[in-house]
Amino acid sequence: MLRPTQLTRDSDPILIEALRPILNASLPYLTKSLGWMSAVEQHRWWRTEDHARVKVFLWRDDERPWEPVAFSMITDHGDFASPFFAVARDHWSNGYGDAIIKHYIETAGKPLRGQQLVSNGAIRKLNARNGWVVVRKSTALWTNPDIEYLEHPGPTTTFPDYDAILKGLDG
């Protein structure tokens, strides 16, 4: 079974380092152009990151707990949160995407906003079936035409079925 370990400011640096190869390998698939990070740069980022706003998880499978298979990151922006995650290349197509998306939606606990590349067929499929809605596409000449902007309402709260309960009380 796939499980997340939350990384905190005080986590052993070797755990932060474990997510670096997955992060660096995911760069070509992201809507923002981030640079390749060295261990030193990542360590510096981790020490200075606002951990009250950003939650990061390293994912492993119980069968092989020594092997990082994915990371996920959720950033709180006040009214909304935004996610970022990647699965290690050797573990693509193992069906991990849905569980990670469901987890970051629950962790956010509020509406979300995000972006996806039109050319990233896997993430478009995963996002659509997990409740993300495309609200806008890049149209301006100076923006990347490959980007779609997305919104998600956040976790759905299931309230008790009060009608059924009251009907039961009426006999």
Ligand X SMILES: CC(C)(COP(=O)(O)OP(=O)(O)OC[C@H]1O[C@@H](n2cnc3c(N)ncnc32)[C@H](O)[C@@H]1OP(=O)(O)O)[C@@H](O)C(=O)NCCC(=O)NCCS
Residues near ligand X (CB under 6 A): 26, 29, 84-87, 92-98, 120-123, 125-126
Looking at the Cβ atoms of 80 and 92, the one nearer to ligand X is 92
Task: Please say which residue, 45 or 47, places its beta carbon nearer to ligand X.
Answer: 45
Report the nearest approach of ligand X to the CB of residue 32 (Å). 10
Give 34 or 167: the residue with its C-beta nearer to ligand X: 34
- Return d(Cα 42, Cα 57) in angstroms, integer: 15
- Least distance from ligand X to the Cβ atom of residue 140, Å: 22
Q: Provide the minimum distance between the beta carbon of 61 and ligand X in the complex, in angstroms, as a whole number.
A: 12
Which one-letter DSSP state was computed for residue 142?
Answer: T
* Closest residue by beta carbon to ligand X: 121
Q: How far apart are CB 73 and ligand X at their closest, in Å?
A: 9
Contacts of 12 (CB under 8 A, 6+ apart): none
Q: How far apart are CA 71 and CA 37, in angstroms?
A: 15
